Amino acid sequence: MKQFKVIKEFGCANKGELFNEEDENFVLDVDSNCNDMYCARYMSVSPSIMDTLVDAGFVTEIVQPSLREEELLNKINKISDTIHQLKEQYAEDHKSLTEEYNEGNVPACIKTEADTVYFNMNKILDTIDNLLNE
């Protein structure tokens, strides 16, 4: 089902309204209550007229993502969420180790190694997160 969004007002179509595919035409059907009155606007255009409206810059087609695209977006969102959870967990673990070190329960070499791993893991996670958010 195709949809077109009005990006430039024309006729009785206002910016932001949608034409929906119905049968073999595209229909804009708007009902609203304004100042204690009922208002309705209806417009129906053929596919060839819709093509002309697109070419003239009055409407643009709304492209729905495919199922595969949605799956990929969900995976990207899941990866991004996992990165944020890991960063929080690493920060908590590092804070705990630092407290143990400050109390004298952890040798300096372990603290230095933990700092290096913490720094490098955050650097990797930040790089991946930035790539996902481009």
Mind giving me the DSSP string for 40-101? EEEEEE-HHHHHHHHHTTSEEEEPPPPHHHHHHHHHHHHHHHHHHHHHHHHHHHHHHHHHHH
Predicted pLDDT of residue 44: 93
Predicted pLDDT of residue 133: 79
pTM: 0.52
| pLDDT digit string, tens, across residues 85-95 | 999 999 999 99
Of 30 and 124, the one with more pLDDT: 124
Helix (H) or strand (E) holding 132: helix 108-132
Domain spans in the chain, listed from the N-terminal domain onward: 3-62, 67-132
- Round the average pLDDT of the chain to a whole number and report it: 90
% of the chain at pLDDT higher than 70:
98
| pLDDT digit string, tens, across residues 32-50 | 776 777 778 899 999 999 9
Residue type at position 41: R
Q: Which residues contact 81 (CB under 8 A, 6 or more apart)?
A: none
